[in-house]
Amino acid sequence: MDENNLNEIQIGEPIPTEYDYSLPISEIDRMISEEYRLCESEGKELSGEIAMLGCALDLISFAKENLGIDLDFSENSLEKLRTIVSMMNESYAEEKPSDDIFATWVNMTAGLFGCIIIRNIGGYWIGSNAGVSVVSNGNIAFVTNSMIGGITGENKDADFIMNTYNYLKEQKKDAE
C-alpha cells in the first residue's frame, strides 16, 4: 500500500487523551508548556496530542495578538475558525506561502478544530496518512486533510468546518 495514496487510508493507533479540554485555556497552556520543557530536557518526542494541543494554543495566541480574534475550545470558536481559514485561503490565493508557513497554518487550524470536536462532542486523536485526525463516536474527521483543502481552496465547501462538526454532533445524538 502506498502511504501517500489517500485512496488507501491507513489509520494508526489511537492517541490517548490525557488532558481535560474543558479546563481554562491558560491552564491547558501551562500544562502543555511544562510537558514541552520536560520532553525537551529528556530528549523525548512529543505525543501527537501534545503537538496538536500546542498547535491549537499557537493559533489562539496568534489570532488574539495579530487579528484581535478571541478563540477557545468552545463551539463559539467554530465560526471564528472558519473566518481565519477563509483569510488563509485568500492569502494563499494571492501568494502561496513557504512550505513551513503552510504547514504551520494547517497544523494550527487542524489542532484547534480537533480540540473543539474533542471537548464538545468527545473523541480522541489518531494518526493517518491523511494527517492527524480525530475519531468521534466511531467517525473519523480528517481535520488535517480538511484544513489543507480549506486553505488551498481545493475544498469548495465554504462551510466544511460547520458541516463536519454538525455531522459528528448528530452522530453523537444518534449513538445516545
**Is 119 or 13 the better-scoring residue by pLDDT?**
119
Query: How many distinct structural domains can be found in the chain?
Result: 1
Determine, yes or no, domain membership for 16. Answer: no
For the chain, percent of residues with pLDDT exceeding 70 = 96
Q: pLDDT tens digit string along 133-150?
A: 999 988 999 999 999 999
Determine, yes or no, domain membership for 13. Answer: no
Is residue 6 very low, low, confident or very high in pLDDT (cuts 50, 70, 90)? low
- The CATH number assigned to the domain holding 32 equals 1.20.120
Rounded to the nearest 10 degrees, how much is the dihedral formed by the CA atoms of 93, 100, 6, 113? -80
Determine, yes or no, domain membership for 1. Answer: no
Determine, yes or no, domain membership for 98. Answer: yes
Instruction: Tell me: pLDDT of 1 over 80.
Output: no
Range of the domain at 135: 21-175
Determine, yes or no, domain membership for 54. Answer: yes
In the prediction, which pLDDT does 10 show? 80
Q: pLDDT tens digit string along 111-135?
A: 999 999 999 999 999 987 777 899 9
- Amino acid at site 116: I
- Note whether 117 and 169 are within 8 A (CB): no
Instruction: Please give the full DSSP string across the chain, using - where no structure is assigned.
Output: --TT-TTS--EEEEE---S-TTS-HHHHHHHHHHHHHHHHHHTPPPPHHHHHHHHHHHHHHHIIIII-----SSTTHHHHHHHHHHHHHHHHHHSPPPHHHHHHHHHHHHHHHHHHHHHHT--EEEEETT-SEEEETTEEE-HHHHHHHHHHS----TTHHHHHHHHHHHHHHHH-
Q: What angle do helix axes 99-120 and 77-94 make, rounded to 10 degrees?
A: 160
Determine, yes or no, domain membership for 25. Answer: yes
* Mean pLDDT score of the chain: 90
Determine, yes or no, domain membership for 52. Answer: yes
Q: What angle do helix axes 48-62 and 99-120 make, rounded to 10 degrees?
A: 100
Determine, yes or no, domain membership for 144. Answer: yes
